[in-house]
């Protein structure tokens, strides 16, 4: 079975700090290759508590879009778990340079030898992990180096627009994605915040026209607006299938085919 499972759907610091939604990452299985995107706080716990439980030892790779805490807190423990407690050398980590080097790296040096390889992401490069090709897309998210992710697999092209400000080239970079996941922190546009708002997310959906769009990574204003109602209204208006993710929600390859 090929699927994308949203272990957590929290965005923004208050939703994460108060755990109004879980802040775990997103687990993918595509043609037998299992990947984990953005292991935020509680990822290992959620992996083991969901039914059926997910097995970190079966992961082929971990993708870190950027080093902010809500995306990276569990990266070290997930690397160790992927490597069977560090007993095996296995798995790939894809991460931006500033998550690995500089003053304040988030990936501990002592877990790095557990990995089979570490790839420092750059736009324009393609990284192969198992049966999946991964293409990073440079985002604009303040001071922190951040990449959205396009995955190419036999099941189709999947886009993950993680944290970013809107910029004019953003929609065309995700052209052709059958599944488009968008981190939608804000309900209304706010020029002071380096995150997408619902109107901007819907502009992107309208331009890309995926078979399925999933909104996730919600801040307070989105949660208060009942994301499932906002998604249903937008879906009706645009004539495109749009879902608001829930903690634990799974979408299947047939949902975006």
Q: Tell me which residues in 153-182 interact with Zn ion (CB under 5 A).
A: 163
Please choose, out of 28-36, 63-71, 83-91, 196-204, the segment that lies near Zn ion by the rule CB under 5 A: 63-71
Q: Are 78 and 43 in contact (CB under 8 A)?
A: yes
Q: How far is the CB of 130 from Zn ion (least distance, A)?
A: 27
- Asked if 80 interacts with Zn ion (CB under 5 A), we say no
- Asked if 98 interacts with Zn ion (CB under 5 A), we say no
Number of residues that bind Zn ion (CB under 5 A): 2
Pick the closer one to Zn ion by CB: 112 or 165: 165
Q: How far is the CB of 171 from Zn ion (least distance, A)?
A: 20
Token pair in block for residue 28: 């993918």
Q: How far is the CB of 245 from Zn ion (least distance, A)?
A: 17
Taking CB under 5 A as the criterion, the residue among 67, 68, 135, 139 binding Zn ion is 68
Cα-based angle 114, 119, 121 (whole degrees, multiple of 5) = 145
Contact residues: Zn ion, CB under 5 A:
68, 163
């Amino acid at each position: 079975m090929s699927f994308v499972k949203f272990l957590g759907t929290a965005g923004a610091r208050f939703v994460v700090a108060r755990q109004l939604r879980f802040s775990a990452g997103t687990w993918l299985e595509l043609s037998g290759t299992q990947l984990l995107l953005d292991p935020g706080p509680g990822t290992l716990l959620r992996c083991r508590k969901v039914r059926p439980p997910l097995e970190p030892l079966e992961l082929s790779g971990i993708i870190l879009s950027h080093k902010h805490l809500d995306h990276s807190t569990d990266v070290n423990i997930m690397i160790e778990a992927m490597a069977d407690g560090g007993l095996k050398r296995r798995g790939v980590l894809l991460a931006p340079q500033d998550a690995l080097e500089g003053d304040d790296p988030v990936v501990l040096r002592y877990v790095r030898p557990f990995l089979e390889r570490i790839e420092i992401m750059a736009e324009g490069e393609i990284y192969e992990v198992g049966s999946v090709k991964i293409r990073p897309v440079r985002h604009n998210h303040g001071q922190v180096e951040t990449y959205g992710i396009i995955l190419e697999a036999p099941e189709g092209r999947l886009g993950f627009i993680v944290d970013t400000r809107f910029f004019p080239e953003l929609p065309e970079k995700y052209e052709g994605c059958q599944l488009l996941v968008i981190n939608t922190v804000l309900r209304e546009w706010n020029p002071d915040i380096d995150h997408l708002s619902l109107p901007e997310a819907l502009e992107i959906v309208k331009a890309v026209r995926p078979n399925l769009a999933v909104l996730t990574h919600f801040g307070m204003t989105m949660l208060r607006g009942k994301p499932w109602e906002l998604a249903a209204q937008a879906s009706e208006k645009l004539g495109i299938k749009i879902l608001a993710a829930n903690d634990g929600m799974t979408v299947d390859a047939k949902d975006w085919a």
